[in-house]
Amino acid sequence: MTPPGLPYGAPAFTTIKLEHYKPALLSAISTGKAQVDAIVNDPGEPGFCNTVEALEFSGEEVKRIAQIFSNLNEACTSGQMQELARDLSPLFTEYQLYITLNEGLFNKIKTVYERRDSLDLNPSQLRLLTETYKSFSRNGANLSAEDKKKYGAVQEQLAVASLKFSQNLLAATNAYLLLITDPARLDGLPEFVREMAASEANARNRHGWVFTLDYPSYSAFLKYSTCRELKEEIWKAYNSRCMEEFDNRQIMIEIARLRIESAQLLGYDKYSDYALEPRMAKTPQAVNDFLNNLISRSLPYAKKEIVAIRHFAEIKGFTEALMPWDFSYWSEKYREEKFSLNEEALKPYFRLESVVDAVLGLATRLYGLRFNPVTNVPVYHPDVRVYEVTEQDGRFMALLYTDYFPRESKRGGAWMTTYRDQSVSEGREVRPLVSLVTNFTKPTENTPSLLTFSEVTTLLHEFGHCLHGILTEGAYASLTGTNVARDFVELPSQIMENWAYEPEFLQSFARHYLTSDPLPQEWIDRIVAARNYLAGYNQVRQLQFGLLDMAWHDITQVPGQDPIVYEQAVLAASAVLPQVPGTGSAPGFSHIFAGGYSAGYYSYKWAEVLEADAFSLFREQGVFNKEVASRFRDCILSRGGMEEADVLYRRFRGRAPEPDALFKKLFLE
C-alpha cells in the first residue's frame, strides 16, 4: 500500500486499485497470524516484550489496509467498492477473532498481567498491559469453546449488518433529488443557494435547480425557502430515509439484537452495561441520570423559545401550525430580527480558504505548529489537499489531509480520521497521517466556497480532533491520539468551537471575499450576543439523540414494535415540535448503528460539560494564553489514552469538572 520512497510513508492512493485490496489483505492476514502464532509458540517465559508488546506491533499491514479501505469507503466510495466491502468485512472480523479468541495467546497475556507488579514496567507499559488484558476479557477470551464460536458468529454478523446500514443510508441519501424548473419556486432563496443548486443541476445534466439531502443543500432550502409545500417534501424525504427503499428498520433491530446477545454472552445484562464500563460515565444509570437531569432543566427554556418563534411567525402573518419543516425558516427570521444578524449577509465574510488559514493559524498561535502545503503526496480525489505539519524547530509532526466538498461518493457529515496512528517502533518514531473530511458548499463558477457560521464552528470542531491526533506523543498506537474513552474524545474538538465567538479571532480573518472589508464590529458583537440563541432547543435536540441511543442499547430485548413507533414513544415527553407519523431519525442514525457511538451518543453533551469547564480556564487567563494552551497540550492532547480520562482532566484543571459549567456557559441558569 506504500511503495518504498513515498514521502512520509503516505498511502499510494493514485496507484491503489480495488483489485489490490483482497490479495493484499489475505497476505497481510497470513503474516499477522504467523506473528500471533510466534508469540503463542515462543518457548520462553511470557513477558511484557515477547507477549504484550509483540502483539501490539503485530499485524501492522492489516491495520494499514483496514484504515485506508474503510476511510476511502466513507469518503470516496463506489458501487464496486461497497460490494468489495461486503467481501472484506468478514475477513477483517475473522482476523480480529483469531486474536481475541486465541486461548493460547490469552493465557500468556493473563500470565503477564498476574505478574504485573513484579515486572518493573513504566507507566505506558503498565497501561498497555492492563488495557490489553481488559480488551481480551471484554472480547470473549474467558468464554468456553462453545461460547467463543457463538461470540465469533455474532461479531461477524454485526460487522456485516453495520456495513449494510451505512451503505443503505448513503444510497437513500443519493436516491432523492428535488428538481425545480420554475424560478418562482425559488422565492426566498439567496443567490448563493441558487448558484449551488444550479451547479448541482448542471453536474447532473438537469435543467433548472437541484436540491439534495446532502446537508448544505437540504438545510439551506429549509432555512430560506418560502415554499412551504416543497419544504415539507424535502423534510419528509430526509426524515424518512431508509424506511422504504434501502430499508434499515429490520437491520436496526438485528443490530440491537446481536449487541444484546454479544453482551449477554460476556456476562452483562445489557449492551449498555458492556459499552459503558471503560468510559468516564461507567454505568447506564449514570448516563440516564445525566441525560434526564439536563432534559428536565433544559425543556422549559426550549418550550419558551418555541413559543417565542411561533408568536413571531403569527405576527408576520403565518397562521398554520408550526411544523418541523417550518422551524428553520422562522427561527432564522426571528434570529435576523432579534439580533439584526443575517446568515446570507455573513457568508461572504467566511470564504473557506480564509477560514482554513485562520484555523491553522490558531494552532500556530496556541501550540506553535506550522502547516506547509505539499504537492508530492498522492491524494484519493482532486479536492483533497495535504499539509506537512511541523513544530517551530522543524520537527515533523504529521500529514494533514483535508477534503471539504460533498459528492455522491462521500457520506454526509464531517469527521476526522487517521490513515496511520502515532507510535514508536524499534526505537523509531512513526508520526500520524490525519484526515479532516467535511461537506461544505462547493465553489461555483462565480462564487468561492462560502461557509455559514455554523460551518465555521464545524471546521473548528473537527480540527480539534485533528490536533488530538497530530500532537499525540506515545509508544503504542492503541493508546495514542483519539484512542481514548468515547465520552472524553469530544473534549478536544468541542473546546475549539469556543474560539469562533472570540472577537479577536474573528477580526483576524473575516473579510468580504469581494471587497476585503473586515466583518463590521457591530456584526461581531451580534454573533457573540446570538451565541446562545435557541440554546434550550438545541440542547434538548442533542439530548434526544442521547435518549434514543440509550433506548436502543439499555435494553434486554429488542422492541416489539415498529422502530419509528418506538422512537416516537421514547421521545414524546421531550418533544417540543409536533411529531410527524412515518418519520424518524433512527434509520439514518449512523453514529449509533454504524459509527462507533452505540450507547455513547451522550458523550457529546458529557464532553460539552468538560469543555465548558476547561475553557473557563482560558477565559480566566486569556483565550490565547500559551501557558494554558501548553498545559492543555501536555495534559490532554499529547497524552492520548495513556491514562484514565478523569486523571488527565484533573491534572489539567486541578480539580474535577464542575457540572454546572455548561449551564453557566449557555446563560440558562
450, β-bridge pairs: 351
Cα gap 355→352, rounded to integer Å? 5
Regarding beta strands 209-211 and 178-180, do their DSSP bridges make them parallel or antiparallel, or are they unpaired?
Answer: antiparallel
Question: Cell digits for 267?
Answer: 456476562
- 314 classed as catalytic: no
Class of residue 294 by CB neighbours under 10 A (exposed 0-12, middle 13-18, buried 19+) = buried
Closest CA to 298 of 24, 15, 508, 540: 540
244, β-bridge pairs: 246
Q: Chain centroid to CA 482: how far?
A: 11
Strands (E), 499-628: none
Closest CA to 74 of 548, 456, 584, 419: 419
Residues 621, 504: contact at Cβ < 8 Å?
Answer: no
Cα gap 42→240, rounded to integer Å? 56
Question: Cell digits for 62?
Answer: 492489516
Closest CA to 403 of 9, 60, 13, 21: 13
Query: Among all chains, which residue has been given the C-alpha cell 455513547?
Result: 600
Contacts of 183 (CB under 8 A, 6+ apart): none
Given the residues 74, 462, 497, 611, the one annotated as active site:
462
Instruction: Compute CA distances 373 → 12, 103, 387, whole Å.
Output: 18, 48, 4
435, β-bridge pairs: 401, 417
Composition of the chain by helix, strand, coil, percent to 5: 60, 5, 35
Residues annotated catalytic, as ranges: 462
